[in-house]
Chains A and B, each alone.
Chain A
């Protein structure tokens, strides 16, 4: 149970986002919200910019320097914390399905089957996936991109001529993530399961038991744990051993009567922020399962869609489906 004295609700400063929050992130010390209507909201003084004009933002990602957004105008735009933006790609009105950011300023995006990788110098490389690319993720090291699609995922080195390496597993793969040590690749699937590959030997891992789709992943700072959404608790898989989660049960944190819609690990401690469909947010410590309430369930403000920490981990920004948002500052 949550002790009222263990509540952080007084330490949340609300932000009136007003539209579906696609991504809530920190860039440096600045909270940034990407909103579905096309607005990017910057900082605590709520500066609003419209990098995509009247078009909608469909997908977003971020790193220490920029917010990367893909819109229904077919544009891929990088926005800096000062509000200035640069168009990195233009797919002529086609919906952008996924975006990803890699090391040294590299980015990637996809529309339908077309996948584009752009290195830090702006050189573009293209690859056509066998079916629509659903998710993109750069490998932690090297210029290598994982693409999830129907019946498996592909690993592509954009700077080499060779065919991408295909990892087969029947079904529709949605989002994709590399473990921080690069040993494992994990996808979420249409059939409410996760699929994992140990890349060294291609061994398959099936992580099942979810009542709905997993649409949010987060790795712990040490890379040993993967928190996932899609159940009535955050399902946290152990990846420390050489076999990863094979043959092991996951941890369940923050069991409630509402589904988890977003997860975000603290950048320095084994604490995970858990956002629910009813708008509630808890912080949960892995070591002893202690819970702290950040935000109670709020009617009509929708599910938590995204959460993000600053680098030191004393502040966290979140947003909801109906346009509520806020910033938590830890004591």
Chain B
């Protein structure tokens, strides 16, 4: 598990500050070597790192799952990089401003050769504080990029007022309730805020503040939203897992991402799951600590999710 190469996916709309962040990651003294997969060779110039050009070739998996798309070029590039083990410590994938992050993320679950060797560390989305509101109206890609983020770099905050900034944050929270937000100018964020997050181990979703969620829920009627659920006590895996499978199969095209940490009855370990569209991945991880409150937390991010229906279904799985 730990010897898998960590992969950081860098997304963000045109002009948000992605390349600035990438350059910052690559030039800061951190003693690490990166393999960087970019779409255009251009303003990034680095000596020590391995830069690979990609084509963003997205294709459907021929497996009956309509929303299951992967990046064919990524599979090939990672296969090539893995022959040079030891030449780099981590991989960064930069996507174009218009890219949907789903195929990138799904590549790390669907392709067995890739998932055996590399693991998605985090999806980092750079957001332009000045233009986000307009972009949310005009560019559906921006919503998806925010929905997919584990970490959001809210950039160019020097170009907005304090009130505007609060608004922008609410806009983001309405779409994605659990991502960590870092407010920056010129993408100046410390590297440990974006690298080595192991964001897919999901600990952070424990930090969601439900009040805040309710608040933004009332304010916005975004086409992409988060449904977060927090249940104290245990749930019954015999009930929950079949429901989760059915739900993601039925609603897969609408669910952009889901994550959860579950407290199963009579199980000393925490069960952690995550998914992208219809693809689910989950296993038992560490033990519940003695001083930890046993509870189940999960987040579904997507289009047209019916909060009441989800809440009712999950509630029915309580022990």
Q: Which of A106-129 contact B (CB under 8 A)?
A: 112-113
**In whole angstroms, how far apart are the Cα atoms of A27 and B106 in the complex?**
42
Q: Which of A154-175 contact B (CB under 8 A)?
A: 170-172
Contact A191 B62 (CB under 8 A): yes
Interface string of B48-84 (1 = CB under 8 A from A): 0000110101010111000000101101110010011
**For A212, what are the chain B residues with a Cβ–Cβ distance below 8 Å?**
112-113
Secondary structure of the B side of the interface? Answer: mixed
**In whole angstroms, how far apart are the Cα atoms of A134 and B55 in the complex?**
13
**For A112, what are the chain B residues with a Cβ–Cβ distance below 8 Å?**
55
**For B112, what are the chain A residues with a Cβ–Cβ distance below 8 Å?**
212-213
A65 interface contact, C-beta 8 A: no
Q: Which of A93-146 contact B (CB under 8 A)?
A: 94-95, 97, 112-113, 131-132, 134
B312 interface contact, C-beta 8 A: no
A203 to nearest B CB, angstroms?
19
**For B57, what are the chain A residues with a Cβ–Cβ distance below 8 Å?**
131-132, 150
Q: A37-B84, A56-B83 are in contact. Are A191 and B61 (CB under 8 A)?
A: yes
**In whole angstroms, how far apart are the Cα atoms of A171 and B68 in the complex?**
12
A278 interface contact, C-beta 8 A: no
Interface string of B39-52 (1 = CB under 8 A from A): 00000000000001
B85 interface contact, C-beta 8 A: yes
Size of interface on A: residues with Cβ below 8 Å to B: 24
Partner of A72, one of B55, B59, B72, B80: B80
Contact A132 B55 (CB under 8 A): yes
A20 interface contact, C-beta 8 A: yes
A17 to nearest B CB, angstroms?
13
Secondary structure of the A side of the interface? Answer: loop
Contact B72 A150 (CB under 8 A): yes
A68 interface contact, C-beta 8 A: no
**For A94, what are the chain B residues with a Cβ–Cβ distance below 8 Å?**
53
A-B contact count (CB 8 A): 54
**For B77, what are the chain A residues with a Cβ–Cβ distance below 8 Å?**
95
Contact B63 A191 (CB under 8 A): yes
**For B84, what are the chain A residues with a Cβ–Cβ distance below 8 Å?**
20, 36-37, 56
**In whole angstroms, how far apart are the Cα atoms of A22 and B80 in the complex?**
10
Q: Which of A24-40 contact B (CB under 8 A)?
A: 36-37
A282 interface contact, C-beta 8 A: no
Q: Which of A174-214 contact B (CB under 8 A)?
A: 189-191, 212-213
**In whole angstroms, how far apart are the Cα atoms of A99 and B77 in the complex?**
16
**For A191, what are the chain B residues with a Cβ–Cβ distance below 8 Å?**
61-63
Contact A190 B61 (CB under 8 A): yes
Contact B83 A97 (CB under 8 A): no
Q: A132-B72, A190-B61 are in contact. Are A20 and B85 (CB under 8 A)?
A: yes
**In whole angstroms, how far apart are the Cα atoms of A141 and B85 in the complex?**
39
**In whole angstroms, how far apart are the Cα atoms of A191 and B73 in the complex?**
16
A227 interface contact, C-beta 8 A: no
8 tightest Cβ-Cβ pairs between the two chains A and B:
A171-B62, A36-B83, A20-B83, A191-B62, A150-B59, A58-B80, A172-B59, A170-B62
Chain B residues with a Cβ under 8 A of chain A: 52-53, 55, 57, 59, 61-63, 70, 72-73, 75-77, 80, 83-85, 111-113
14 A-B pairs with C-beta separation under 8 A = A20-B83, A36-B84, A37-B84, A131-B72, A134-B76, A150-B57, A150-B72, A170-B62, A171-B62, A172-B62, A190-B62, A191-B62, A212-B112, A213-B112
Beyond the given pairs A72-B52, A95-B77, A213-B112, 5 more chain A to chain B contacts, judged by CB atoms under 8 angstroms and listed by A's residue number, are A56-B83, A58-B83, A113-B55, A170-B62, A191-B63
